[in-house]
């Protein structure tokens, strides 16, 4: 396996665990998504690896992008004349995200804490999710004055139905692990300290099956998914580029960091 800086990769039998190692909140960026995509490529090329567990250290599974990162804010200050200039990087991030959807082997996400924004998109990229009552799932984009990304406009409705996806998008509400299980966003809901073990057990059950039959069946079930995600991210990026230049987006990010209700003005 390739050496990585922000993830750990460990194989147990026919199951490989990818662990995000940016505690406590595991914010993502292009580098992290690229490392996960690279690890999945390595796993695809390993004939002994049949299933994957995607897990994380710390408090959250993945709290999304860190809009309050000082380096990000400094960059945006430099690009004040055109706030959308830096979105070329987000375009590249979505290229890496599509790579994750093109992997060949089943993924079980162990969601023990918050999966927010793009972190929800990452959790949804897996075939299955094991979670706990303490976990929180949120597409908080509209509270940021933003548009959903990471392909969620294509992937979330397929999991929870169009109307539930609309509810999650329009309200930006946080869905508990138990609610996620009830609506089909999670496949299992177990005590928090058992999430990773339960995810591993499911991955091992998958790995007991014929590897050729498994690859063939998964390819059939996910046929066209990566292409749908690619088309969705193209549209999402266009809307994010437009909205990121608005006053409402700046206010949404500021209000979120200050833990208050935003004063949106529709401009």
User: How do residues 46-65 score in pLDDT, each as one tens digit?
Assistant: 999 999 999 999 999 999 98
pLDDT score recorded for residue 68: 62
What does the alpha-carbon distance between residue 66 and residue 102 come to, in Å, rounded to a whole number?
Answer: 26
* Farthest CA pair distance, the chain: 56
**91 band by pLDDT with thresholds 50, 70 and 90:** confident
What does the alpha-carbon distance between residue 104 and residue 183 come to, in Å, rounded to a whole number?
Answer: 26
Structure tokens, 130: 């094991």
**CB distance 89 to 22 below 8 Å:** no
Residue 193 burial (10 A CB sphere; 0-12, 13-18, 19+): exposed
Strand boundaries in the chain, DSSP class E: 7-12, 15-20, 51-56, 107-111, 115-116, 128-131, 136-138, 175-176, 188-189
pLDDT score recorded for residue 73: 46
- The answer for residues whose C-beta is within 8 angstroms of residue 31's C-beta and 6 or more apart is 5, 6
Q: Measuring CA to CA, how many Å separate 173 from each of 89, 100, 249?
A: 27, 26, 18
pLDDT score recorded for residue 209: 98
How big, in percent rounded to 5, are the helix, strand and coil portions of the chain?
50, 15, 35
pTM of the model: 0.91
Read off φ and ψ for residue 11, nearest 5 degrees.
-105, 130
The tens digit of pLDDT for each residue in 25-35 reads: 999 999 999 99
Read off φ and ψ for residue 103, nearest 5 degrees.
-65, 160
pLDDT score recorded for residue 81: 38
Burial 36-73 (b: 16+ CB within 10 A, else e): bbbbbbbbeeeeebbbbbbbbbbebbbbbbebeeeebe
- When pLDDT is averaged across residues 133-141 and rounded to a whole number, the result is 97
What does the alpha-carbon distance between residue 14 and residue 12 come to, in Å, rounded to a whole number?
Answer: 6
What does the alpha-carbon distance between residue 136 and residue 254 come to, in Å, rounded to a whole number?
Answer: 22
**CB distance 52 to 9 below 8 Å:** no
In order of their start, the domains of the chain are 7-190+210-257 (3.90.226.10)
pLDDT score recorded for residue 1: 46
């Amino acid at each position: 396996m390739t050496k990585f800086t922000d993830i750990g990769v460990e194989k147990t039998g026919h199951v490989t665990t990818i662990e995000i190692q940016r505690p406590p909140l595991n914010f993502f960026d292009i580098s992290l998504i690229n490392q996960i995509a690279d690890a999945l490529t390595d796993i695809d090329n390993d004939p002994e690896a049949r299933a994957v567990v995607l897990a994380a250290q710390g408090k959250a599974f993945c709290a999304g992008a860190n809009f309050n990162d000082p380096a990000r804010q400094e960059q945006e200050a430099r690009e004040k004349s055109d706030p959308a200039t830096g979105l070329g990087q987000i375009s590249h991030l979505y290229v890496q995200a599509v790579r994750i959807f093109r992997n060949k082997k089943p993924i079980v996400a162990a969601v023990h804490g918050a999966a927010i924004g793009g972190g929800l998109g990452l959790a949804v990229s897996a075939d299955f999710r094991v979670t706990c009552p303490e976990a929180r799932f949120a597409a908080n984009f509209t509270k940021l004055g933003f548009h959903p990304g990471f392909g969620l406009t294509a992937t979330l409705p397929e999991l929870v139905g169009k109307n539930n996806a609309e509810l999650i998008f329009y309200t930006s509400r946080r869905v508990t692990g138990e609610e996620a299980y009830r609506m089909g966003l999670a496949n299992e809901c177990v005590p928090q300290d058992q999430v990773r073990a339960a995810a591993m057990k499911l991955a091992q059950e998958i790995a007991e099956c014929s590897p050729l039959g498994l690859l063939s069946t998964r390819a059939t079930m996910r046929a066209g998914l990566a292409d749908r995600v690619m088309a969705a991210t193209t549209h999402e990026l266009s809307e994010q580029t437009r909205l990121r230049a608005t006053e409402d987006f700046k206010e949404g990010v500021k209000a979120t960091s200050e833990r208050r209700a935003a004063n949106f003005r529709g401009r």
